[in-house]
A and B are shown apart, each in its own frame.
Chain A
Amino acid sequence: MTYTLTKLARAVFTAWLAVTFVFVMLRISGDPALEILGGDLPPETLDRFREGLGLDRPLWAQYLGYWADLFRGDFGQSFRDGREARSVVMEAVPKTALLMGTGFLVAVVIGIPAGILAALRHNTSVDRAVMIGASVGFSVPNFFLAILLILLFAMHLRLLPAGGSTDWTHLVLPAVTVGTYYAAMLARFARASTLDVLGRPFLPAARARGFGSFTTLRRHTLPNAALPTITVAGLIVGGLMSGATVVETVFAWPGIGRLLVNAVSARDLPVVQLIVLLLALVMVATNLIVDLLYGVLDPRLRRRRAGAGS
């Protein structure tokens, strides 16, 4: 219970910090009246505009008002086309979710088996091949990988489309691009944590009790290696979101990543603000889920059961 409460408190605290960060950033980013209307208008018009936004109130009132707006779901209008920022962003969410989900799958399906295999064949050519592959996957910037894939598959071979999002063929190149880096990261991480477990004395102890190497692997090595790997999941979700900004931009994928980049270039702050808050919320939720999952899976964090204490 206390573990869950601590983690919950931490999540709430992080969310509060993220909102406050955005609020502070918004306030020091300049005068929205000048930003939106330009400096050519008479001062009275600007003042009236500021009043409309509540900028004449004291800072704490603005801060509370900001929170109230958030709870009402009022994030203002996009500076660019005057639509509700909320609907602009929400349109893009499913696209990004699809891309990130596929990329995650690519990363997990390639990365984890490769990492475990490398650890089990430690210091062999298999290990070295996986590690070299991982190093390369780690080092190629995703925007460069995206361009190489476009040059090869879209322009040279003409197999797959270079941009857009109408059918599944459009998904292949972006998903591979986002997934590659995290496949490399997962491979390295799975390898390291498997190697770590392989060095622990409870494995020879299990062998000494007559368990074969395969049983030991399945019963002891993999569960213990999997546990720390869960913690990377949060890192990967965050990374996939960062990756989405680049990949969506290059492949003209109409998700929130591309929306964010365009909004930043146009200084469309209501949209930027909403996307940043949304992503922060996703991160807080992911980390919370990871923590709670860890708490359930690791008996050392589970609450002492009745009768287990002494």
Chain B
Amino acid sequence: MSRTAATVGARPVLRRRPSAIVALAILWLVGVITCGALAGPLAAYDPDAIDLVNRLSPPLYFGGDVAHPLGTDDLGRDLLSRLLHGAQLSLLIAFVGTVTGAAIGTALGYLAAHRRGLVDDAIMVLVDLQASMPFMIVAIAILAFLGNSMIVLMVVVCIYGWERYARLARALGLSMTAGGFAEAVAAYGARPRWIYWRHILPNSAGVLLVNMTLNFPETILLESTLSFLGLGVQPPQASLGAIMNYGRDHLLNAWWITVVPGVVITATTLAASILGDRLRDRLDPTLR
């Protein structure tokens, strides 16, 4: 075997630079998350401080002044400060919702893949059920019957999307087990917990992460839609959707109260889905 050549790296691997659009998306997301996290120190005003002298001041370049760069609402509250706090709340809800949904879904998906049989069937019936119902209606129904409170809203946001992780995790678990390396690992005596933690989870991480990036903007949309309809975050707290709901009554004389948070939501969801698509192209082995 002296001549066995190491053909390590026989095929040149191509690395593409991230395009400008992806860079922009990342920049925006980092910016929004930083601003949301530092909303308290960054905001120049108390978001709820009423200042009737400066009410309905338009944003800069639309006739407003530097004191309120994004203008004020009909109670004279500084829109930029409200926006920062609103973004903080929206992002927080979306983060917690996405992560919890991912954790629940992944755990149930692995459980289904590992146990098979009846457990698998039961979990998959739940998955199909949730996938077949428009979640917005289910969410509205739950909020209607149980009343709006932050806790109910959080529960609703957390259940959102778990079924997709469950499907993915189950499929990944099965593919790595049946004729895959997880079976080979089991063959040398590793226990299920070792196999799932050390081999299957790290190898599913890419796919799950992609799904999280794609699920995150949808969670933002769910929360802001509910809040926009007045069914989500309740005053005095205000998420981006809630601010827009408030501004709807002033569309004629203060469009900025609605449009500015709308732009922030759109840009954030757009940036997250661009990043998610990009990550999927790179990380998802099923697409190669």
Contacts and interface: CB of A to CB of B under 8 A. Distances in A.
A238 B134 contact: yes
Interface in B122-174: 128-129, 132-137, 140-147
A114 B143 CA distance: 37
A150 B262 CA distance: 14
A140 B259 contact: no
A174 to B, nearest CB: 15
B278 to A, nearest CB: 11
Given A151-B259, A241-B134, A241-B137, A141 B145 contact: no
B217 interface: yes
Nearest to A132: B21
A162 to B, nearest CB: 9
A28 B145 contact: yes
A245 B129 contact: no
Nearest to B224: A141
A242 B134 CA distance: 7
A238 B133 CA distance: 7
Interface in B265-285: 265-266, 269-270, 273-274, 277
B140 A245 contact: yes
Nearest to B143: A264
Contacts of A263: 144
A138 B146 CA distance: 30
A30 B146 CA distance: 8
A260 B136 CA distance: 12
Contacts of B228: 141, 143, 246
B29 interface: no
A250 B229 CA distance: 9
B248 interface: yes
B210 to A, nearest CB: 14
* SS of A interface (majority): helix
Most A Cβ at <10 Å: residue of B136, B141, B147, B241 = B141
Interface string A105-139: 00000000000000000000000000000011011
A150 B251 contact: yes
Contacts of A238: 132-134, 137
A129 to B, nearest CB: 13
Given A272-B144, A280-B133, A264 B231 contact: yes
Nearest to A22: B141
Interface of B: 128-129, 132-137, 140-147, 217, 221, 224-225, 228-231, 241, 244, 248, 251-252, 255, 258-259, 262, 265-266, 269-270, 273-274, 277
Given A22-B141, A29-B145, A148-B262, 8 more contacts: A30-B147, A139-B273, A234-B132, A261-B230, A267-B147, A269-B145, A272-B141, A276-B141
Interface of A: 10, 14, 17-18, 22, 25-26, 28-30, 135-136, 138-144, 147-148, 150-151, 155, 234, 238-239, 241-242, 245-246, 249-250, 260-261, 263-265, 267, 269, 272, 276, 279-280, 283-284, 287
12 contacts: A28-B145, A29-B146, A135-B273, A139-B217, A142-B225, A143-B229, A245-B137, A246-B225, A264-B140, A264-B231, A265-B230, A283-B132
The 7 closest A-B pairs by CB, nearest first: A242-B136, A238-B134, A144-B262, A139-B270, A25-B145, A264-B144, A29-B145
